[in-house]
Amino acid sequence: MGKLELLQTLTGHAGRVWSAAWHPGGKLFASCGEDKTIRVWTKSDTDRWVAQTVLTDGHTRTIRDVAWSCCGHYLASASFDTTVAVWDKKSGEFECNATLEGHDNEVKSVTWSRSGNLLATCSRDKSVWIWEIHHAPDQEDEYECVAVLNGHTQDVKKVCWHPQEDLLASASYDNTIRMYRQDLADSEWEMLEPLESHSSTVWSISFDATGQRLASCSEDTTVKVWQQYGPDNALGIPCPDRGTVWKCVCTLSGYHSRSVYDIDWCKQTGLLATACGDDTVRIFREASDSDRNEPTFELVVTVEAHSQDANKVAWHPTVPGLLLTASDDGEIKLWQYVDAD
């Protein structure tokens, strides 16, 4: 077993805090919410997190998600106003230097590829868009939509890039997860077979550090772990056209009493954190004797982290066990996981 020690509680947003994202260097994070603002937090001289900047002029409705580019120079925000804003500090201050338009309804999630050349967005309009970024010295960056992917039949809740490849995953109200990759022959984006096992909305997804596993969480109160299998795998799982397939290898059920809204797989420790509609944050660890093809996970922490729905969990990119949570109660909390074994 382990425990979560509360380090700091941050207030400032008016209303729900929907999302937050660590800067890849770990010295900043951004948060967003119902109040249509983005707050950028940094550590003060007294080692406390404080809001360094409040960005108020990017959106006219709720901001649902924020994401930093892997290089750390850009921050993207997704809003119910149907747009995505891209911010940078080229002028010395954060400014919105691009507004991406095209979705017909609320934008729910935004994510940058590892290469930094691609941005993905998804919306209540049931579509996933992929944007290519064109950087030119001394010129404004240009964002070109290179694919509109209509594989889902309902609201798309989350998009997430693979940690090493330009492989994109999306999660939807239609109970499925979809994967997309670019066909190198004609540069067209293709949809792979859907991942089907959840019985209700898939709220969020997160790859592990290797990218060979994906965790998903759902309105059905379960967490599922999916494993990638390639051609000639030891289990003899068929791989059409010598591609890869994803199989559900573990279902964590009976742990959550309400919808599980977010999940994050720690790239350093392998711990899985979940944010739930029962106000609680839970942490799972893979058992030491776990079989890779039939893994078992143990619940190591349950903490009533907030007074209302927990919306977001985000592990720090470089400090093992440092966890950020955000909630409908308007608060952001920072926790340190301590292994009690």
Beta bridge partners of 133: 143
312-334 pLDDT per residue, tens: 999 999 999 999 999 999 999 99
Amino acid at 69: S
More confident residue, 159 or 234: 159
Contact between 260 and 275 (Cβ < 8 Å): yes
pLDDT at 340: 81
Confidence of residue 18 (pLDDT cuts 50, 70, 90): very high
Q: What stretch of H or E contains 56?
A: none
SS3 category, 242: helix
Domains observed in the chain: 1-336 (2.130.10.10)
What six digits make up the tokens of 228? 């990638």
Provide the Cα torsion 152, 154, 156, 157; round to 10°. -140
Cβ atoms of residues 102 and 119 within 8 Å: no
- CA-nearest of 73, 159, 165, 75 to 114 is 165
Check residue 341 and give its pLDDT. 63
- Asked if residues 337 and 2 have their Cβ atoms less than 8 Å apart, the reply is yes
Kindly report, residue by residue over 235-287, the tens digit of the pLDDT. Answer: 999 988 888 999 999 999 999 999 999 999 999 999 999 999 999 999 999 99
Measured between alpha carbons, how far is residue 291 from residues 163, 190, 244, 288 in Å? Answer: 23, 32, 20, 9
Pick from 303, 296, 224, 226: nearest CA to 260: 224
Query: Does the model's pTM come out above 0.85?
Result: yes
CA-based end-to-end distance of the chain: 6
Q: Which class for 175: exposed (0-12), middle (13-18), buried (19 or more C-beta within 10 A)?
A: buried
